[in-house]
Amino acid sequence: MSLSLLWKRDMEKNKKTPAKVFIDPVNLLILIIASIFSAEAFVTLLLSIVSPLSTERYVLLDAGMLAVILFPVIYYLVFKPFTSQIKQLKRSEEALQASEEKYRSIVETTDDSIYLVDRNCRYLFMNKKHLTRMGFSGEEYVGHSFSEFHSDEETSDFVDKVDAVFKTAQSEQHGHKSERDNKSFLRTFSPVKGPDGKVVAVSVVSKKSLPN
């Protein structure tokens, strides 16, 4: 199983269904206003039955009874769903972070070269193995084109394969003989999709081929 598929599987495993507020904000506002109106009408009616009160006592009693009636409405319709959603989002973020750290650890410790390029074949990322192969010590490669470090023949072949992945949004595997290492590799080109589902980059996993 490729590293990208492993990461996707891990993400699905850790993905949680977010807590939902069971009523949309507009309807919630209408419900709260209606609750306040109904509660105030009920309290006013109830107070009209008792003996006349002074203005101060009437206001205090009215406010107190209104608070008692509205508290469960606000709590169960607003506060409880909101806090539940916050907790669920926090758990989802923690699961996502754990999965990303696990994937990053695999990417950085694998003996395969892994790198990421954009539509114009400019480097976006390299793992430690590929950094060593390319002779880089840091991120000085970012933004530089594949063609700056490879022959015209290798570049032409690489560009064709990256273009194909952008067009089909499907992974492809191809054998490759590296001029730099004079070794054979199996390269897997996989699409990296953005939030809108469109391919925004291509990941390449280069695995050394076993000798025949």
pLDDT tens track for 123-146? 999 999 999 999 998 899 999 999
For residue 142 the two structure tokens come to 């970012």
Q: Give the residue with greater pLDDT, 78 vs 20.
A: 78
- In this structure, are 129 and 167 located in the same domain? yes
Pair (101, 145) in one structural domain:
no
Residue after which a domain boundary falls, among 64, 90, 107? 107
Given 56, 82, 107, which residue is the final one in a domain?
107
**CATH for 191:** 3.30.450.20
Structural domain including 139 reads 111-208
Give yes or no: residues 11 and 80 share one domain. Answer: yes
Whether residue 122 is found in the same domain as residue 84 = no
Across 88-118, b (16+ Cβ under 10 Å) vs e yields eeeebeebeeebeeebeebbeeeebbbbbbb
Where does the pLDDT of residue 18 fall: very low under 50, low under 70, confident under 90, or very high at 90 and above? Answer: very low
| Residue 68 CA neighbour count, 13 Å, CB half | 8
* Domain termination site, one of 45, 73, 107: 107
- State the pTM of this model: 0.57
